[in-house]
Each structure stands twice: as structure tokens, then as C-alpha cells.
Amino acid sequence: MKYLIYILIIVSSRSYSSPLNVVTSIPSIKSIVEKLGGPYVNVKSISKAKENPHFISIKPSFVKLFHRADLLILSGLDLESAWAPVLIKKSKNNKISIGSQGYLDLSKWVKPLQVVNGVITRKMGDLHGKGNPHYMVSPLRVLKLISHISEKLVKLLPEYKKELIQLEYDYSLKLASKIFGSQLLEKYKLSNLLKLMELKKLHKFLEINNQLFLLGGWIKSLIYFKDKSFYEDHSSYSYFLNDFLMNRSGSLEPKPGVRPSFKGLRNTLILMRKSKTIGILSSPFFPKKFLNFIENKSEAKIIYMSHQLGSKSEATNYIDWIDFNVHQLIEVLGE
């Protein structure tokens, strides 16, 4: 009888245990963790939608968040290198120290774009030697990251393993359906579709097998722009363009993080005409005067995108954020 009461006490305490405290560096990661963790997690993001996550001020409230955190999830690739190590040290929380069970750098499972080899100097602009850190705008890469986030949650919340696995399955299916469409997912394994997209062979595969009609989701919505040339104002959308097989022909910035000059933009216009650029993906923070100059002197259209979840009120979660950007592109350029 005493043994039964002891078991009931344990079960009861687990059922009403406090949620896992998770801290993320950016809002897009926060949104995904909330979907994967459900009621079993309490998630806070350090950077806000309209902030530059490269440069975050060290606030006492952030030190407290780090101190109380059970899990810290970073984008990596030096996105948070200016402030995350400082907060980890100040927090005196061994649970989230680098290499600990409560530390998760998602870039470990990302094949980065724009990796820079050799010596990097300030004269080269704000280059990221390890690669472009803005990969969360890539739904294909995020789809692969979901299992790693969920695996970490299960390790830290083993009593909710069954529930967390179900949440992972549900969210993965929902995101995959938005990317590929439900018909294609019913016909082929998700792992095979991801591999074909990575090899840039999905469209050809479906065409050879007379199955292009199965294609749906965002890939179908953007199929008209496949192989078309685009510019960015910064490097915020390189992974988005890569996902949907659009060509990134260049950036309006002469160097990463360096504002252009009108003289430099005249040279950019020549390159844009040569590459037959049809659109420029732009973020809210980029100066309008440069965009207006380009638009008035070229046939390329300016597409005002959302560089981070929450920067546009229409997008309140990760899937809505990607959906917003897809429809922005279609609305400006047409289908």
C-alpha cells in the first residue's frame, strides 16, 4: 500500500511539474520550440523581431533568464558570438554552458552558405567566416532541424517522451505539407523528397515520371521563379532563394553590412541587367533611398520581405512567417 502511494505521488508531481525553461536567441527558433514543446516548455527569446541579433545589449534581465534556463538554443555560425558567451558566463548556470546537456547550437546540422576561407579582416565588411547565419528563413533546413530540437526536449523531459514525439510528428507533417503539398507526401517518403531537393533534382524527377501534377505547397507556388535571378539588399534571404531554386545573383551591399553608395549602385545596375534580375528581396531596415534609386533605374521589382519572425504583424508563428514571404514575392512579381 505504501509503495502504491509512493508511485502515485511521483506520477502526480511529474504531471504538475513546472515547464522546462528554454531561452532562444531569435524569435523564429522560439516559435518552433513552442510548437514542439507545447505545454511542457516556457520559451523566451533574447532578440526581438526588429532588433539586429548580432548586437544585443547585455541587460540584467537577460542574465536572469540565462541563470534560470534549463536549455539554451542558439542559431550559431557566430550570430550570437558578441553576447551569448558573456551571458553564459555571467549567469553562472552550468546547465547551459557550452557542451553541456542544456546547450544546443542548431548550426551543427546546417550546411552553411557563403563560407569564407582564409583570413578575415574588418576591411572585408561584416563577414561570417563560418557561413551565413540567417538559415532560419529556410523551411527545408528547419524541417531537418525539428528532430534535433525534439530529441533534446525528450532528453530533458523524458517523462513526456510520448507526448513530445507526437508533437514533433504533427509539426513536421504540417510544415512538410506547406513545403511540398499533401499529395506528394502521400506518394513519397519525406526523407527522399528532402534529398531530391538538396540535389536540385525534384522537379526533373517528377517530370520524368509524369508526376509534376503532384507538386504542391510553397514549391509549386514559387515554381515560376525557379532559375530566375534575384538580388538581396543584405544576405538575409540567401537560404530562402536556395530552397526554392532561385538564383542569388548578388547583393546591393558592396560588402556585408556596409551601406552602398549611389556610385556603387550604378555599377550594380549593370550587373543586374546582365543577370536579368527580376526582383530584389529587401528587409524593413534597409534605407529606402537606395531601393528607390534601383527601382527607378531598372526593371527589377522591390519585394519587401520579413527578415525575422514578428517584423510584420501578419506573421505570428514560423509557418505564417514563411507563408508571408512566399506571398509577398508572388504579389509583387505575379505567378
Are β-strands 247-251 and 229-232 bridged in parallel, bridged antiparallel, or unpaired? Answer: parallel
CA distance 243 to 265: 27
Instruction: Convert the pLDDT of each residue in 146-158 to its tens digit.
Output: 999 999 999 999 9
Domains recognised in the chain with CATH numbers? 20-115+123-171 (3.40.50.1980), 216-333 (3.40.50.1980)
Instruction: Convert the pLDDT of each residue in 109-137 to its tens digit.
Output: 999 999 888 766 666 556 667 899 999 99
Residue predicted with more confidence, 311 or 304:
304
CA distance 236 to 240: 9
CA distance 94 to 333: 50
Mean predicted confidence (pLDDT) in 299-314: 90
Residue predicted with more confidence, 118 or 19:
19
Q: Tell me, what's the pLDDT at 119?
A: 67
Q: Are 136 and 151 in contact (CB under 8 A)?
A: no
Contacts (Cβ under 8 Å, ≥6 apart) of 263: none
Q: Are 25 and 75 in contact (CB under 8 A)?
A: yes
pLDDT at 274 over 90: yes
Q: Are 156 and 69 in contact (CB under 8 A)?
A: no
CA distance 239 to 133: 10
- pTM for this predicted structure: 0.91
Reading the block at residue 291, the C-alpha cell is 531601393
| Strand positions, DSSP E, 52-175 | 71-74, 103-105
Instruction: Convert the pLDDT of each residue in 214-252 to its tens digit.
Output: 999 999 999 999 999 999 998 999 999 999 999 999 999
Cell 538580388 appears where? 231
Q: Are 71 and 156 in contact (CB under 8 A)?
A: yes
Separation in Å, CA 270 to CA 97, 237, 295, 307: 49, 22, 13, 26
Q: Tell me, what's the pLDDT at 144?
A: 97
In a 13 Å sphere around the CA of 320, the CA atoms on its Cβ side amount to 12
Helix (H) or strand (E) holding 44: strand 41-45
Cell 508571408 appears where? 324
The whole-chain average pLDDT of the chain stands at 92
Q: Residue 296's Cα: distance from chain center in Å? A: 32
For residue 104, the cross-strand partners are 73
For residue 110, the cross-strand partners are none
What single string gives the DSSP state of each residue in 211-254?
-GGG--HHHHHTGGGTT-EEEESSSTTHHHHHHTT-EEEEESSS
